[in-house]
Amino acid sequence: MSEVAAVILAAGKGTRMKSDLVKVLHPVGGMPLVAWPVMSARQAGAARMVLVVGHQAEKVQEYFAREESLSFAAQLEQLGTGHAVACAHEALAGFDGTVLILCGDVPLIRGETLSAMLAEHRQRNATLTVLTTHLENPHGYGRVVKREGGRVLRIVEEKDATLDERQIREINSGIYCVEAGFLFDAVASLSNDNAQGEYYLTDIVTQAAERGLLAIAFSIDDPNEVMGVNDRVQLAAAGTVIRRRINEGLMLAGTTIVDPASTYIDGTVQIGTDTIIHPNVQISGNTVIGMGCVIEPSVVIRDCRIADRVTIKAGSVMTGSTVGEETAVGPMAHLRPETALGAHVKIGNFVETKKIDMGEGSKSSHLTYLGDATIGRDVNIGCGTITCNYDGVKKHRTVIEDGVFVGSDVQLVAPVTVGRNSLIAAGTTVTHDIPPDSLAIARSPQVNKVGWKLKKRE
Ligand code: UD1
Ligand code: CA
């Protein structure tokens, strides 16, 4: 079997997006548009990939900086799809396998569909195979002109088509597999003598036919797969399809999603079996959730690692945090980046955390801010506790050792260390270290003036 390389066209600006950001970097399902065809090409076995970049090339390259199998070809002027493919020649110099050509703005194509197209291409010994579908309304697409027996004769752009040709319902998806030798030879000899004055990649079909080489169509039923994204209405439509696929994949793998229509999970997220996701939940980025968890309604989770049997209660928001097993968070808790909670921890309502380590079995049940702190095991943080971590210039750390009981309404003015098993009385402002096994109390003694109210009234 010959090797497969992919060329992904992504040099266009995407004028109809009306955006400062190049079209192929607009996010959908948690990844830029162009990352989806790249993923599908990889799934179909493309060992090497060349991305043709033009508009905002640096930004596109930056996104893929760590993809070793991907290289870039610059197309400085967007002279057409044929010219774009020609720009990839140098990056594939010496390659003589099959080139899979994809568009950066056609995100819904599946890896398995590309594999099936490649298999057909090989089985029929074709030089060129074009992926097509039949549309009720083919407006705007290139039409596929065939001869009896199924050979493709040519592809004609709508703007160049005769009235008869415009009646053809079979359209060019812009996705092809082509033998490399023929491809780069053909794109080098294109002309731009057409309605748009562009070097059309589609003209290589005519060249194949003229040279007596076999060009075939691989037609698919699901028009969604070849849907192009040109504006933000189509971006949202593609997002709906991607979301449905992600949710269905998770459900079939053992996650319960109570209301898939209101559940937004990125393609990058992993979730274990028997975890239940309630309505209106958003889970994004590099999040991994374990087994048997419950994610209650209206929770937002980004870039978090959550162990098994964790409950995240309604309305909680968490970013860049790790949560140990059987821990409970919320309702309405806010875990900010670098929060690391151990197992069997409890974080209750209106608790905000940032850059903290909290050991196994510790609790902070109500109305608290914990930032820049190391908290040991079995610590109880009372209601209304504040780590005063910021002196206006620098951040300082609070250390609370194992077994400490922090009473309600305590301020810990960092840097400060509370020794193990100590107790801090309610209302205390802690300004210096507390040795282990101590009681710390700092509040003015209460005075009761008996009968004071009666005298006032007299
Ligand atoms: C193209 C096809 C058309 C097909 C349609 C499917 C041609 C001539 N026509 O038309 O038959 O039905 O796709 O969506 O190929 N690009 C570059 N450099 C360029 C021009 C385009 O990188 O110079 C990239 C774009 O960024 C885009 C892709 O190629 O990702 C397709 O280009 P576009 O101009 O949208 O092609 P269509 O006119 O839609
Ligand atoms: Ca065009």
Report residues of the chain scoring pLDDT below 70.
1
| pLDDT at residue number 150 | 82
Q: What is the pLDDT of residues 318-374, one digit of tens each?
A: 999 999 999 999 999 999 999 999 999 999 999 999 999 999 999 999 999 999 999
- Structure tokens belonging to residue 421: 């098993």
First to last CA, the chain: 105
Q: What is the pLDDT of residue 3?
A: 94
Looking at the chain, the domain(s) classified CATH 3.90.550.10 span 4-226
The angle formed by the CA atoms of residues 280, 285 and 288, to the nearest 5 degrees, is 85
**How would you write 257-317 as a 3-class SS string?**
ECCHHHCEECCCCEECCCCEECCCCEEECCCEECCCCEECCCCEEECCEECCCCEECCCCE
How close is the Cα of 281 to the center of ligand 2, in Å? Answer: 38
Partnered with residue 406 across adjacent β-strands are: 381, 424
Closest approach atom of ligand 1 to CA 83 = 23
Ligand 1, atom 11, lies closest to the CA of 142
Q: What is the pLDDT of residue 147?
A: 86
Assess whether the C-beta atom of 225 lies below 6 angstroms from ligand 1.
Answer: no
Residue with the nearest Cα to atom 39 of ligand 1?
141
Is the beta carbon of 132 within 6 A of some atom in ligand 1? no
Any ligand 1 atom below 6 A from CB of 81:
yes
How far, in Å, is the centroid of ligand 2 from the Cα of 136? 21
Q: What is the pTM of this model?
A: 0.90
d(CA 72, CA 35): 14
Residue 134 appears among annotated catalytic residues: no
Per-residue b or e along 430-442, where b marks 16 or more CB atoms closer than 10 Å to that residue's CB: beeebeeeeebee
Instruction: Report the distance separating Cα 415 and Cα 379, nearest Å.
Output: 18
CATH topology of domain 256-440: UDP N-Acetylglucosamine Acyltransferase; domain 1 (2.160.10)
The predicted pLDDT at position 106 comes to 95
Angle, helix 203-210 to helix 180-187, in steps of 10 degrees: 110
State in Å: Cα 44 to ligand 2 middle.
Answer: 27
The CATH architecture assigned to 4-226 reads Alpha-Beta Complex (3.90)
173 and 132 in contact (C-beta within 8 Å)? yes
pLDDT at 4: 97
| CA of residue 25 to ligand 2 center, whole Å | 19
Q: What's the burial of 230, exposed, middle or buried (CB within 10 Å: 0-12/13-18/19+)?
A: middle
List every span in the chain annotated with CATH 2.160.10.10.
256-440
- In three-state form (DSSP H/G/I as H, E/B as E, the rest C), the secondary structure along the chain is CCCEEEEEEECCCCHHHCCCCCHHHCEECCEECCHHHHHHHHHCCCCEEEEEEECEHHHHHHHCCCCCCEEEEECCCCCCHHHHHHHCCHHHCCCCCEEEEEECCCCCCCHHHHHHHHHHHHHCCCCEEEEEEECCCCCCCCEEEECCCCEEEEEECHHHCCHHHHCCCEEEEEEEEEEHHHHHHHHCCCCCCCCCCCCCCCHHHHHHHHCCCCEEEEEECCHHHHCCCCCHHHHHHHHHHHHHHHHHHHHHCCCEECCHHHCEECCCCEECCCCEECCCCEEECCCEECCCCEECCCCEEECCEECCCCEECCCCEEECCEECCCCEECCCCEECCCEEECCCCEEEEEEEEEEEEECCCCEEEEEEEEEEEEECCCCEECCCCEEECECCCCECCEEECCCCEECCCCEEECCEEECCCCEECCCCEECCCECCCCEECCCCCCCCCCCHHHHHHC
Which tokens in the block code for residue 289? 């959730």
- 348 alpha-carbon distance from chain centroid: 29
Q: How far apart are CA 60 and CA 14, in angstroms?
A: 14
Per the residue annotation, which of 89, 121, 139, 366 is the catalytic one? 366
Instruction: Report d(CA 155, CA 259) in Å as an integer.
Output: 43
CA atoms within 13 A on the CB side of 238: 29
